[in-house]
Amino acid sequence: MPSLTLADLQAHLGGTIRGDGNVLLNGAASLEKAGPGQLGFLLGRKFLEQARASAAAALLVPEVLAMSLTEPLPQACLVVANPHACFARALALLHPEPMPAPGIHPSASVAADCSIDATARIGPGCVIEAGARIGAHCVLGPHCVIGAGASLGYACHLHARVTVQHGCVVGDRAILHPGSVIGSDGFGLAWDADPGGGHWLKVPQVGRVVVGDDVEIGANTTIDRGALDDTVIEDGVKLDNLIQVAHNCHIGRHTAIAGCVGIAGSTRIGTYCQIGGAAMIIGHLEIADHVTISSGTFVAKDIREAGTYTSVQPLMRHADWLRNAAHLRHLDALAKRVKTLEKQIADQPAPTTPMERP
């Protein structure tokens, strides 16, 4: 684990030092657990007393909070405008992920005509098929599979058991977490009627998945290859665990999607969108840029304007839900009755003389 002074962190993160810039740091921790040599993170005013009592050697402090303090904190501080982003960068500096030495593990199966940069690290049990390309400084964890003709860019990190199917392309600095699958077949089926009752025919999926730069894909997330055209994940997209992206989808740059979201085929999602966990999006939809979709929302039509969209009932007691569900079953009949009553009222002749006051 590296040791950095607070001044070293300032050189990487910017900001202003208050106190001793020579404080030595070898890690980061919560305010409660931090000890000597560790950096703490003061998120807001409600944690101020906890910060004063913390044994952290130094604190990362929001600029707006530091300006309002009437007395200094006991620790050395690095005051920054965006503390959350700076803390993420500080964690990466103080807790770098261990990297194995470059080379190919003896148990890996590597096709003779694939291209592997000399700086890449290929873990045990990996399979790299014909014509695949592995870029400089890539790391492949145990039992990864790179299909024929697939390509990984610069400094990609594939954790254990990642599969990149044939012909798919992954850009630079991608992070693919354990069990993720890039380029599985889309759910393409055609019904073939016959005297025996008919059966499903598989529609060959001949497109690819094209993943841009700086994309992160969570554990056991699957992205299906296109049926004819490519499924596209643009630069900077962040996908959580257990997400299903169906064939021919297009996800715009810097969109973030939380776990257990399902996206049906041929849906286009704009740039800078945020989609909450367990949202469901049906196929062939267009979602505009800068759209936020709340957790658990069911999206069944296009969203053409930026904004936040929600369609989920609040929690209620089960007995109340049963009564409301019973009413909901009769909602169409009730709407027809209201429409009939409105027409009857509209058809009544208007009074010919003014009504007398009582």
Burial class (CB in 10 A: 0-12, 13-18, 19+), 342: exposed
Chain centroid to CA 353: 68
Q: How far apart are CA 59 and CA 52, in angstroms?
A: 10
Q: For the chain, what is the radius of gyration of the CA atoms?
A: 28
Q: How far apart are CA 299 and CA 121, in angstroms?
A: 42
Q: Is 266 left (phi over 0), alpha (psi -120 to 50) or beta?
A: left
Q: How far apart are CA 89 and CA 157, in angstroms?
A: 18
Catalytic residue among 247, 250, 254, 284: 247
| Active-site residue flag, 247 | yes
Q: How far apart are CA 295 and CA 314, in angstroms?
A: 12
Q: How far apart are CA 20 and CA 23, in angstroms?
A: 6
Kindly list the distances between the CA atom of residue 329 and the CA atoms of 45, 232, 298, 322, 336, in Å, as whole numbers in the listed order.
Answer: 49, 40, 19, 11, 13
| Catalytic (active-site) positions | 247
